Structure 1
Amino acid sequence: MKIRRSRTGLAFIAVYGAMAIPLLIYAFGIEGDYKGAYVLKQVAVAPALLAMGAIIPPHLIKWPGFLNNIPVFLLLSFMMIYSVGWLIGLLGRFVLSIGYAYMATERVSRPTSPRMRTARHLLSTIFFFALD
């Protein structure tokens, strides 16, 4: 079975990584301002922290030592961001398939009217990464 990667998910990870990793490098390099470094580290791994706070009430969380570190939360954030991108790409492919099915039922092999060309161009622009 061939594993298919989501280009939308990978694009989301690239954007998130381009923001989170430099922020963490800067936060770990701060000396003296421990509160500022703490806040920057929390901002970098915010997706995982928000999800954990939504699933488990914060006053019930008793993190084991190996889970209470930034790399684990960064990995969880990457997985969540990829999942959101995968879901958006899946939705884009679904919308495009509905549009192509509609065009097929109208017996239009190619969009000839300006309205159909504009709709197809708009769909392919919005869901650029979903086009495999």
Structure 2
Amino acid sequence: MGQLSTHVLDTAHGRPAAGMAVTLQRLDTDGQAHTVREIRLNADGRGDGPLLDETAMAVGRWRLVFAVADYFRAQGVALPEPPFVDVVNLDFGIADASAKYHVPLLVSPWSYSTYRGS
């Protein structure tokens, strides 16, 4: 039963990135991005349910767009203009539509990292 989910942790404050805007896009063969879904993360820094469930999962290239600078500004963090980390575009592939893909993001105003979670 395939699904896609995400989770964002604010490493500058040591808490989930509640309220961050996240956009899921499908990338076609020529690199054009098509928005599939837009969400705001809940108090646990997650979406309410999967971004893609078993009926929507599809093999292909995908992008998660995380509105990092907007999130930190809303937390009262003074950022330079332009911010060092503004929007994180994370391109990844789904090779098996029946598998679970979890894409965590650890983020601060100055850095980010990601991995394929479980």
What range describes the TM-score normalised by the shorter chain of this pair?
under 0.3
- Structure with greater helix percent: 1
Structure (1 or 2) with the larger CA radius of gyration:
1
- Structure with greater strand percent: 2
Q: Give TM-score, length-normalised by structure 1.
A: 0.21
